[in-house]
Structure formats: C-alpha cells, structure tokens
Amino acid sequence: MDSDRRELSLAEHCQEIEKRVEASRADCKGDTTALLALLRTLEGLHRQVFEEDFVPSLPNSRQPLYALLREMEAEGGWPYIPKMRIYELIDYLNAQAQAEEATEPDEDV
C-alpha cells in the first residue's frame, strides 16, 4: 500500500514537472536562445539524476539487475543516455560484479 501511494505521488510529481516544462516550452516558442537555455537546464537535471541517483541505485547482483531490465523493457526502455555514459555504466557494473565476486566465499573450501 505504501509503495502504491509512493508511486502515485511520483506520478503526480512527474505530471507536474511535465506541465511546467510544457508551459516553459510554450513561453519560449520561437526564441532559440530561450529554448537552448531550457534544453540545457533539462539536460543538467537529467545528468544529475542519472549520475547522482540512478547509477548508484543500480542493483549489484544478477537477479535484481535482470528484474530491472525486464521492467524497463516492459515499460519503455532506457531514458536517453549519451554514448560515453553507457561506457561509464558498463565500467560501473563490471566493478560491482568484481566487488561481488571478491566478497563471495570460496566454494572449494
């Protein structure tokens, strides 16, 4: 129930953000400099959420990562991630996998 309430709240917040961006977009219509400023702001916010929140929240084991990927495929896939960021994401996931393997007990013992 708490999860449902949180998801509804997030959906409401996202709708409000979308409305504000649409209003800003309408205000900037035809003004290339203003539209560029809006795009830069949105890109900065995207980068901040991606780097500071999304990447650190990625699962560090196969089962939860698989579940996340399935959910993403079912609900519309990845948000836009620049190419260089994808390489950083792969490096991050590889580092997580190596750290996980290093902490697993030896099966030969």
- Which among 92, 11, 5, 17 has a CA at the least distance from the CA of 51? 92
Domain span at residue 74 reads: 58-109
Please count the other Cβ atoms lying within 10 Å of the Cβ belonging to residue 92.
14
Question: Within a domain: residue 20?
Answer: yes
Higher per-residue confidence, 8 vs 94 = 94
**106 lies in the same domain as 64:** yes
Q: How confident is the model at residue 38 (pLDDT cuts 50, 70, 90)?
A: very high
Query: Residue 109 above 60 pLDDT?
Result: no
Q: Please report which confidence band the pLDDT of residue 75 belongs to, taking 50, 70 and 90 as the band edges.
A: confident
Do residues 106 and 74 both lie within one domain?
Answer: yes
- Percent with pLDDT over 90 in the chain: 36
> Does residue 76 lie within any of the structural domains?
yes
Q: Based on the domain organization, do 13 and 42 belong to the same domain?
A: yes
Per-residue pLDDT band for 107 (boundaries 50, 70, 90) equals low
The dihedrals phi and psi of 91, each to the nearest 5 degrees, come to -60, -45
| 62 shares a domain with 22 | no
pTM of the model: 0.61
Contacts within 8 Å (CB) and 24+ apart, 77-85 = 79/46, 79/50, 80/46, 81/50, 85/50
